[in-house]
């Protein structure tokens, strides 16, 4: 039989498991929000960020003389354990919750308090000695704690995503170098266009990803402005006049992030524009990653009845009924991540728009959506780099044949023989099945060497 302890809030008494570090507020939230089945611990970055906010707040309140040395030391020790990854299983409230994040704030208040009580030598729930609100939440409100923690969590997750994007960009760039001399036909609107190299195609993939890294890095700087110290609506009610500055300084030191206090805390408490901007950047990353994966799937289609220009690594059997079939499963999973991120962006947009007056009550779904997008994009980019891109090979001989036989070669002759003559050659090639290369040389318009030079192709491309 599970033993319990009794705790009370404004609604009355409630039994809490005796061995739980959370308390009555968390227990009620667990009953109120059986929504996603995903506890707050699903996002460890957010749990760590909440603990760091409480850590910094305790130090600041001690600095201004509002929190005793022994209480401060116990709170700090409890926070440091959470920051190191302990007690995360005690963060049990659902990631999707009403109350603008109040349940998350109370969850961390209670866990920190009960662990700190143990450190002080007292039993869990002995709030007369250390209180979740009077001490751990001193000078704070959910409305400045939660947004600050979300920004810290998202900043950490976005930094990890930048690392994964750099890894993928490096893998694509390496393939660009490897395929630098592999000629192929470029395409527009899925029709043959003009010659290029496979190397330039992969280099373009790398460059477009690098541009998104820059946009993401720019968005990260906006996350460093926090509203900690604004309390309920940004007025700083119930916080010491020196608290906001000190809390920000401590938090910046703890996180290693150059944080600044917003110049207008009322505006900063109500506004979630930074999350909208970041979400838009993540959508951009997703769209362009998905486009790259579309290209990889198309270029590797076949092998006999498709383009068959690339060979993707074979990572698993592709069919339960078709022997020997192998599918482009890694690009496919990244496509699906992109679809999710695009949907998450819509959620963030609607949640941001729905905020009213001095607070946005929908930051929990914003946080959940952003952290999902960041995590899945990071793991997707890493998987694409490690399980696909690094193992791609080129079907070189097939590509050379395509170049030699493509009517698209005629485009490069426009400056030399004119559009009308070039069009006539294209028509003749289409009617006879002969290659442009062959027709040009046979007609004495150019030598094979001159044609190769004009096309910028190595001699091997002419066959």
> Active-site residues: which are they?
319
- Nearest C-alpha neighbor of 424 from the set 453, 448, 445, 447: 445
Token digits of residue 266: 């009322």
Strand partners, 456: none
Q: Is 389 helix (H, G, I), strand (E, B) or coil?
A: helix
The residue assigned the tokens 């609607």 is 350
Residues contacting 185, CB < 8 A, separation 6+: 192, 193, 194, 195, 196, 399, 402, 403, 406, 408
Number of H helices, E strands in the chain: 16, 8
What is the 3-class SS of 91-160, one letter each residue? Answer: CCCECCCCCCCHHHHHHHHHHHHHHHHHHHCCCCCCCCCCCHHHHHCCCCCHHHHHHHHHHHHHHHHHHH
Q: Which residues are CB-neighbours of 231 under 8 A, at least 6 positions away?
A: 139, 140, 141, 143, 144, 237, 238, 239
Cα–Cα distance, 283 to 276 (Å, whole number)? 10
Q: Which run of H or E residues covers position 451?
A: helix 448-455
Contact 146, 101 (CB under 8 A): yes
Residue 212 to residues 4, 169, 207, 285, 456, Cα–Cα distance (Å): 52, 10, 9, 6, 31
Residue 386 has φ and ψ, to the nearest 5°, of -80, -35
Give the distance, in angstroms, between the CA of residue 212 and the centroid of all CA atoms in the same chain. Answer: 11
Instruction: Scan for tokens 């290369």, then name that residue.
Output: 437
Distances (CA, A) of 452 to 87, 183, 400: 68, 12, 13
């Amino acid at each position: 039989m599970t033993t319990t302890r009794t705790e009370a809030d404004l609604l009355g008494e409630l039994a809490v498991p005796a061995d739980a570090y959370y308390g009555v507020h968390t227990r009620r939230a667990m009953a109120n929000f059986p929504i996603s089945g995903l506890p707050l611990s699903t996002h460890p970055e957010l749990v760590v960020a909440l603990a760091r906010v409480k850590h910094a707040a305790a130090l600041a309140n001690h600095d201004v003389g509002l929190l005793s040395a022994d209480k401060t030391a116990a709170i700090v020790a409890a926070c440091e354990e959470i920051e190191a990854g302990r007690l995360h299983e005690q963060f049990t409230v659902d990631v999707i919750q009403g109350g603008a994040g109040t349940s998350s704030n109370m969850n961390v208040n209670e866990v920190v308090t009960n662990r700190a009580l143990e450190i002080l030598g007292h039993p869990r729930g002995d709030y007369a000695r250390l209180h979740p609100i009077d001490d751990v939440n001193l000078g704070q409100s959910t409305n400045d704690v939660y947004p600050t923690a979300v920004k810290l969590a998202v900043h950490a997750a976005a930094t990890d995503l930048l690392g994964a994007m750099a890894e993928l960009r490096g893998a694509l760039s390496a393939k660009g170098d490897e395929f630098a001399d592999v000629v192929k036909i470029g395409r527009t609107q899925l029709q043959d266009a003009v010659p290029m190299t496979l190397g330039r195609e992969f280099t373009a993939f790398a460059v477009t990803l690098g541009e998104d890294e820059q946009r993401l890095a720019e968005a990260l700087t906006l996350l460093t402005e926090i509203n900690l110290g604004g309390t309920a609506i940004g007025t700083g009610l119930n916080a010491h006049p020196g608290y906001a500055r000190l809390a920000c300084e401590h938090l910046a030191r703890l996180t290693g992030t150059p944080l600044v206090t917003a110049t207008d805390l009322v505006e900063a408490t109500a506004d979630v524009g930074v999350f909208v901007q970041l979400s838009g950047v993540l959508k951009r990353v997703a769209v362009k990653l998905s486009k790259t994966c579309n290209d990889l799937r198309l270029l590797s289609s076949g092998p006999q009845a498709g383009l068959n220009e690339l060979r993707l690594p074979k990572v698993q059997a592709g069919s339960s009924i078709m022997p020997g079939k192998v599918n482009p499963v890694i690009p496919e999973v990244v496509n699906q991540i992109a679809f999710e991120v695009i949907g998450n962006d819509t959620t963030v947009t609607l949640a941001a728009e729905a905020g009213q007056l001095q607070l946005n009550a929908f930051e929990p779904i914003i946080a959940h959506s952003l952290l999902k997008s960041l995590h899945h994009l990071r793991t997707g980019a890493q998987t694409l780099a490690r399980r696909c891109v690094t193992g791609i090979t080129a079907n070189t001989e097939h590509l050379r044949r395509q170049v030699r036989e493509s009517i698209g070669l005629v485009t490069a002759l426009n400056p030399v023989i004119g559009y009308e003559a070039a069009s006539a050659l294209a028509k003749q090639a289409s009617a006879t099945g002969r290659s442009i290369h062959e027709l040009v040389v046979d007609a004495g318009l150019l030598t094979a060497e001159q044609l190769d030079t004009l096309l910028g192709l190595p001699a091997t491309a002419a066959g």
